[in-house]
Structure 1
Amino acid sequence: MTRAENDGESAAGLTISENAYRRIRSDIIFGRLRPRQKLKLDGLRDSYGISISTLREILNRLSSEDLVVAEGQRGFEVAPVSVENLKEVAALRLLLETHALEQSFAAGGVEWEGDIVASHHKLATLERRMATGDMSQTELWKRYDWEFHQALISACGSQVLMDTHAAIFDKYLRYQMIALSHRGDIAAGEHKILLQAALDRDAPMARAVLERHVQGGLDHALATGTIA
C-alpha cells in the first residue's frame, strides 16, 4: 500500500486528527485537491469533520512537507507544481532508489523474492487491463506500482531510507496523477526486467533500467503539457 493510499484510509486506533491528516494528504497526492487550490478552513471543516484549530495544525504539518503553502494571514493553498520541481523530485527519487536497490539486492532472501514476485503480479495484472484502454483504476495502479518499487528496496536494511524514499515517491506520484502519465507497454516491460534483475541479483542491470524508467516517466509527464 502506498504511503499516500495508507494516508487516505481510516485505521483503528488513529486519532481524529491523524486520520484527517492522512485523508487531506492523500487528497493532495492523488489530485483531488488541485495545485494552488485555496484551502478554506470552513469548507475543509465541513468536508473532513474536524475543528478549525485542528485543521490549522494539519495544514502547518503539510506545509513542512512542502505539500501545502502557508500564506501568512491569508490562509493556506495546495502547493504549486513546476517543471523544475518535478525534475528535482525525479532526480532525488532515482538517487535514493538506486542506492536502496543495491543494498536490498545484496541482503534480500527468499521471502523478499516472494514479496517482489507477488507485488509484480498485481501490478502486471493492472497494466494489462490498462493496455486495453481501461483507465478506471488509476489510483489502484499507482498503489501497486508503489508496492512493487517498495518491495524491491525493502531488504535495504534502513527504515530511514525507506521512509525518505516513500515521501519522495509520493511527490513524484503527485505529478504523475496530475499528468495522468501512463507509458503502457514500455513501463510494463521495464517492470518485468526489474523483477528478473532482482531475482538474478543483477544490480547493475536494475540500476540501468531504473534510470531509464524514471527518466521515461519524467519525459512522458512533461510531454502532456499539464505541468508548467
Structure 2
Amino acid sequence: MEFSRFEVDAKDGETVGDVAYRRIRSDIVNGRLKPLDKLKLDKLKTAYNASVTTLREILNRLAVEELVTAEGQRGFRVAPISATELRELADLRVLLETHALARSMQNGDLDWQGNVVSAHYKLSVIEKELIEGKPDWLDRWVRHDWGFHYATISACNTHALMQTHSSIFDRFMRYHMLVLDFRGTGVAEDHVALRDLVLARDTERAVALLTRHVESGVAHILGTGRIP
C-alpha cells in the first residue's frame, strides 16, 4: 500500500535529504508543525539532521506543494490555513477522487477488490479504537484512511491523476489533524458503505456517497470552530 510518505524511518539507498523531506512533510500534515510556524534553518538542522543547503531544497519543494510558504530573504513558514482553502481542497478532492473511483470500478480486477477489502479492514480496526475513546490512534487513522481511499482508486491506471490526488488529499487531511477531532461512527459507517458499493461496482451511488463523505468532513472540521 502507498504508505511511504507517512513513514519516517530511513530505507536502504535513501539520502539524508529523502528522510528529512518525509519527516518535515509528515510533521506538517500531522499538525506537529503548526500553521505560520517559522521554519528556522538552524533549528531544523538539529531536529532533522540535515544540512542547511539540503533543508533549503526541501522547503522549496514543500513550497511547490503549498505546505510551506517562502518569504524571500525572510525564510520559510508553514503554510497558513483557512476555511476558504479547506473548501477549495474538498472540491478538488471530490473532482479528482470521484473520477479516479469511477475508472477504478470499471477497470479493477480481483486483486484490486482484495486490496479494497484488506485496506478497509485495517481502517475499521483503527476506527473502532477511536470510537472507544483512544485519541492517540488519530495518526494511524490518517494513514489507514488514506490507505482505504487509495485502494478504491488504485485501478484508475492514471499516474498523474494519482499523484495530484495524493497531494490534495494530504493537504485536506492536514485540517483533520489540526482540529484533532475524530468524526465518530458516521465516518466509519460511510467507509463500510463505500466499500460495499465499490465491490458491487455501483458507480453512481459510490460517487454520490464519496461526495457526501468529503462534504461532511468539511462541515465537521468547520463545526469545531478552530479554523479561521
TM-score above 0.5, yes or no: yes
- 1:135 to partner: Cα distance: 1.2
1:1-60 CA-to-partner distances (Å, cap 9, x unmatched) read 445414x33222111112111111111111111100001111001111111111111111
Which residue of structure 1 lines up, in the alignment, with residue 216 of structure 2?
Answer: 216
Which residue of structure 1 lines up, in the alignment, with residue 55 of structure 2?
Answer: 55
Tell me the TM-score normalized by structure 1.
0.97
Q: After TM superposition, what 4+ stretches of structure 1 lie above 4 angstroms from structure 2?
A: none
1:198-228 CA-to-partner distances (Å, cap 9, x unmatched) read 1100011101110110000000000111110
Which residue of structure 1 lines up, in the alignment, with residue 41 of structure 2?
Answer: 41
Structure 2: how far apart are the matches of 1:24 and 1:190?
31
Task: Determine whether 1:78 maps to 2:78.
Answer: yes
Which residue of structure 2 lines up, in the alignment, with residue 5 of structure 1?
Answer: 6
Q: Aligned letter for 2:6?
A: E
- 1:195 to partner: Cα distance: 0.5
Point out where structure 2 has 5 or more consecutive residues left out of the alignment. Answer: none
Q: Aligned letter for 2:77?
A: E
Q: Aligned letter for 1:198?
A: V
Q: 1:62-73 counterparts in 2 under 5 A?
A: 62-73=62-73
What do you get for the CA RMSD once the two structures are aligned?
1.1
Higher mean displacement: 181-190 or 144-153: 181-190
Tell me the TM-score normalized by structure 2.
0.97
Q: What SS does structure 1 have at the residue aligned with 2:69? A: strand
Q: What SS does structure 1 have at the residue aligned with 2:55? A: helix
Q: Aligned letter for 1:195?
A: R
Which residue of structure 2 lines up, in the alignment, with residue 176 of structure 1?
Answer: 176
Q: Aligned letter for 1:140?
A: R
Task: Determine whether 1:92 maps to 2:98.
Answer: no
Q: What SS does structure 2 have at the residue aligned with 1:38? A: coil
Q: 1:144-163 counterparts in 2 under 5 A?
A: 144-163=144-163
Q: Is the 8 A contact 1:3 1:170 kept in 2?
A: no
- 1:147 to partner: Cα distance: 0.3
Structure 1: how far apart are the matches of 2:102 and 2:181?
27
Q: Aligned letter for 1:180?
A: L
Q: What SS does structure 2 have at the residue aligned with 1:66? A: coil
1:147-181 CA-to-partner distances (Å, cap 9, x unmatched) read 00000000011111111111110001101100123
Structure 1: how far apart are the matches of 2:12 and 2:218?
37
Amino-acid identity (%): 48
Q: Aligned letter for 1:79?
A: A
Q: What SS does structure 2 have at the residue aligned with 1:77? A: strand
Number of aligned residues: 227
Q: Is the 8 A contact 2:197 2:206 kept in 1?
A: yes
Structure 2: how far apart are the matches of 1:191 and 1:13?
37
Q: 1:132-143 counterparts in 2 under 5 A?
A: 132-143=132-143
Q: Is the 8 A contact 1:187 1:213 kept in 2?
A: yes
CA distance 1:95–1:79, shift in 2 (3 Å): same
Higher mean displacement: 125-134 or 99-108: 125-134
Q: Aligned letter for 1:19?
A: V
